[in-house]
Structure 1
Amino acid sequence: MSLKLSTKQLISIANEFGTPVYVYHAEKIEEQFKKLKEAFKNSNSKFFYACKALTNINILKWMKQIGASLDCVSINEVMLGLRAGFEPKDILFTPNCVDFEEIEAGKNLGVNLNIDNISILEQFGNRYAHSYPVCIRLNPHIMAGGNYKISTGHVDSKFGISIHQLRHIERIVKTTNLNVTGLHMHTGSEIKDVNVFIEGLEVMFEIARHFQNLEFIDLGSGFKVPYQHDDPETDVNQLGAKVAEAFAAYEKETGRKLQIWFEPGKYLVSEAGYFVVKANVVKQTTATVFAGVNSGFNHLIRPMFYEAFHRIENITNPKGAERIYTVVGNICETDTFAWDRKLNEVREGDFLVFFNAGAYGFEMSSNFNSRLKPAEVLVKDGEPKLIRKPDVFEDLLRNQIEVL
């Protein structure tokens, strides 16, 4: 049975730490990681937690404890990973549209570099030649993912070097003596069809023939997690079997043994996260009943940004009569979490919980409207611990300089 926190635990945390509050379940993260390890047990696999989903230092330390490596997209994420105790060899740095100095900073820290730009690749080769290995991020021109905003492998994507520029890549590698040890692709998020990964893998196998020092192929991630009760999710067991079969066939054909890397982010932390808010007002208009809560898209932007669905429950009145509400926030913009959602009767002061709030929730939060960021709590071994204090007013002024 899948691990989850109880209503009683969430109410207790809301009462102890106040609302709004993000709550993370350590054992659920571990359960998800073990599912991946088991699914790919027949492959030489390595999993890098895509920490852009949630970078609280305690989450990073927990990821290291359960055996994950780390995928980073900024030099600051790299430094957080090192502070959390990750070895440089277990950190993959995949920046995008950054200055060459940031690439060099990653190199100087000794982490795995993943380069997705012809210009940067050439600069790196000219400066470091064969002395430092690199991975190349390719754009396979595969349209995948839940929607266009979270698709990253299509022809119009800013990510990766087009597979049609392979000849250009080869010229750079040859003229600079660049040491390419990995090939990478990531086509998007919310991928339900495992054959998307296999299609990408076949593209990578073909390109791998052009790089003799290759040690690994990285298929990124994009594993779908369920948001509703009847939602499908990526069948990682089926994918694991197909990947193992594909790598075995490739090894038999070529004699080359390559490692497979993945970068799960949302898959590891989404279902482990809960966001608890309080209903401030119930406002009935001529057409709609609004449940207005003490939060907004400054804390959870996914519904407004991605049109993402988050299941919502009234945990303090779970047996109340069901009514239809539009759940909105307190930000001075259109700020809607859910339209026409069926909930147990919402009373002012009730606690509502948003599920699947572990990924890109707090991480994308802001102080818009000069609102304060919420607390974060980690539950491990049944014990809730505060891992980030809620903002106070002084935090709004912390980096401002008053000159008038």
Structure 2
Amino acid sequence: MQASDLLQIAKTYGDPVYVYDSEKIISQYQRLTNAFKGVKKLQLNYAAKALSNITILRLMNSLGSGLDTVSIQEVELGLLAGFKPENIIFTPNGVSLEEIEKAAALGVRINIDNLSVLEQFGGKHPDIPVCIRINPHVMAGGNSNISVGHIDSKFGISIHQIPHLLRIVDLTKMNINGIHMHTGSDILDIDVFLYASEILFETAKNFRNLDFIDFGSGFKVPYKDGDIETNIEELGKKLSTKFNTFCKEYGKELTLAFEPGKFLVSESGFFLAKVNVVKQTTSTVFASIDSGFNHLIRPMLYGSSHKIKNISNPKGRERYYSVVGYICETDTFASNRRINEISEGDILCFHNAGAYCFTMASNYNSRFRPPEVLWHNGKAILIRERETFEDLIRNQVDVKELFETKQKVALAK
């Protein structure tokens, strides 16, 4: 996409606005499949939580992707987007037995991450195949909030609880068809990932009827010029070799599964916001935009760094700016960042806005969530409308008669 295309989208659909480039999504999907072409059976299950717009889900389905879901609502979105139930895996954390049973009734694959629900589900539904999420106790990820495989994580069944797990499986006679792990997001060192995979292989040897092994995801993408990223090609070669060796030892050709989210959609996304105010203090120049962490919380929540460009003045002299939002709290997107000279009314473009950006947006400060636009085959297509005041109050119940009565009583006194 060109800056002129983005400016035209901001002019047509207003700002702030999210934009996704379908060509980048497709190329990332192809890159990942090519990296693992050395295995006979590969299944990519797109992590819907990264970007759950139904049009994006339909795009993923058209590429041949499966779908990784973490809530019954994501399961229903996937079915609505055209995914077959058997191509959807339900990988929740800490949900009720009832929610898992609802997903199972819809025909999707089930992934369970705790002993309590595993025992309950196996006791009631021993004939329904189940995948088990293992916690390998391997610390990986770029931030403590997205590192989920360490010893104190709430995710997965500890490898130290394998004997207990095996007793449950033996007593319930349930069918374990998959083993799964997820160590965290923004993985830099593939050797850490490969080390965790060895733990997963060892765990898998305890189950004789597996169909697949799911290695999670968490591959890091570059967030700025010169930034490091997961070497997918090297990981593909090394893990494929290990996986093929394991399949020979296991005596069965298993499916190697992943659940990429950020890797597929992050770099496709752009967030466009207009500069409301340029404010000079004694030591800082603030560029305040018509958005805040209600639309893009990642810098505040994860400390993530998004490249920011002034697409209205790409050749202007570079100056240092702190880019902040309009929320009535400190919401700083960047501190003392070199950006081409900014004037009020300019459009700033945030890169890497495809994953965990709109999906984490809120109505904080009673602000509307922005629209989403897909750039596809050289055309801008609206895939979500901007919210309105009617959307904001749609589910609120205004019980005004309670207070009108009190007011009348007070006046009568």
The alignment's TM-score, normalised by the length of structure 2, stands at 0.96
| 1:228 paired residue number | 224
**1:71 counterpart SS class:** strand
Residue 377 of structure 1 is matched in structure 2 by: 373
Which of residues 34, 46, 50 is equivalent to 2:47? 50
Match of 1:266 in 2: 262
Is 1:20 aligned to residue 13 of structure 2? no
State whether structure 2 residue 201 is matched by structure 1 residue 205: yes
Deviation above 3 Å: which 4+ runs of structure 1? none
For residues 372 and 160 of structure 2, the distance between their equivalents in structure 1, rounded to whole angstroms, comes to 45
- Structure 2 counterpart of 1:388: 384
Query: Which residue in 2 is equivalent to 1:79?
Result: 76
What is the Cα-based RMSD across aligned positions, in Å? 0.8
Q: Deviations over 1:361-381 (max 9, x none)?
A: 110000000111101000100
- What residue in structure 2 maps to residue 10 of structure 1? 6
**Equivalent residue number for residue 256 of structure 1:** 252
Q: Does 1:128 align with 2:128?
A: no
What letter corresponds to residue 244 of structure 2 in structure 1?
A
SS at match of 2:137: coil
Q: 2:344 corresponds to which letter in structure 1?
A: E
1:312-344 superposed Cα distances (whole Å, 9 cap, x missing partner):
000011111111000000000001100001111
Structure 1 distance, partners of 2:244, 2:395, is 55
Q: Which residue is 1:99 aligned to?
A: 96
17-26 vs 244-253, greater mean Cα deviation: 244-253
The 5 Å alignment of 1:1-400 reads 5-43=1-39, 44-129=41-126, 131-400=127-396
Aligned counterparts of 1:208 and 1:368: Cα–Cα separation in 2: 45
How far off its partner does 1:233 sit? 1.0
CA-CA distance at 1:201 after TM superposition: 1.4
Shift of 1:256: 2.9
Deviation by residue 1:47-70 (Cα, 9 ceiling, x = unmatched): 000010000000000100111110
Give how far 1:195 is off.
1.6
Equivalent in the alignment of 1:403: 399
CA distance in structure 2 between the aligned counterparts of 1:209 and 1:343, rounded to whole angstroms: 54
Q: Distance in 2 between matches of 1:33 and 1:8?
A: 26
1:177-232, CA deviations, whole angstroms, 9 ceiling, x for partnerless residues?
A: 01001000000000011122211211111111111111111000000000011011
Contact 1:114 1:137 in 2 (8 A): yes
Counterpart amino acid of 2:97? F
Question: How far apart, CA to CA, are the structure 1 residues paired with 2:378 and 2:372?
Answer: 16
Cα distance, 1:267 vs structure 2: 0.4
Deviations 1:64-94 (CA, angstroms, capped at 9, x unpaired) = 0111110000000000000000001100100
Query: 1:148-186: per-residue Cα shift (whole Å, max 9, x none)?
Result: 111000011000000000000000000000100100000
Whole-angstrom distance in 1 between the partners of 2:372 and 2:233: 32
In the aligned structure 2, how far is the partner of 1:91 from the partner of 1:251?
24
CA contact (8 A) 1:25 1:273 kept: yes
Q: Residue deviations 1:220-276, cap 9 Å, x none?
A: 000000001101111111111111210222233332322110000000000000000
Give the Cα separation in 1 of the matches to 2:159 and 2:379.
49
Offset at residue 114 of structure 1 (A): 0.3
Q: Structure 1: which 5+ residue stretches go unaligned?
A: none
Aligned to 1:270, the other structure's residue is in SS state helix
> What amino acid is the match of 1:386?
L
- Return the alpha-carbon distance in structure 2 between the equivalents of residues 224 and 29 of structure 1: 15
Deviation at 1:17, TM superposition (A): 0.6
**Structure 2 Cα separation of the partners of residues 83 and 123 of structure 1:** 29
- Which whole-Å CA distance do the structure 1 matches of 2:225 and 2:104 have between them? 44
- Greater gyration radius: 2
For 2:136 and 2:14, the matched residues in 1 are separated by 46
Q: How many angstroms apart in 2 are the aligned matches of 1:279 and 1:139? A: 45
- Taking only the aligned residue pairs, the percentage that are identical comes to 58
In structure 2, how many angstroms separate the alpha carbons of the residues matched to 1:45 and 1:38?
10
Measure, in 1, the Cα distance between the counterparts of 2:203 and 2:360: 36
Once residues 48 and 381 of structure 1 are traced to their aligned partners in structure 2, the CA distance between those partners, rounded to angstroms, is: 24
Tell me, what secondary structure is at the counterpart of 2:274? strand
Following the alignment from structure 1 to structure 2, what is the Cα–Cα distance between the partners of residues 244 and 304? 37
Indicate conservation of the 8 Å contact 1:96/1:159, yes or no: yes
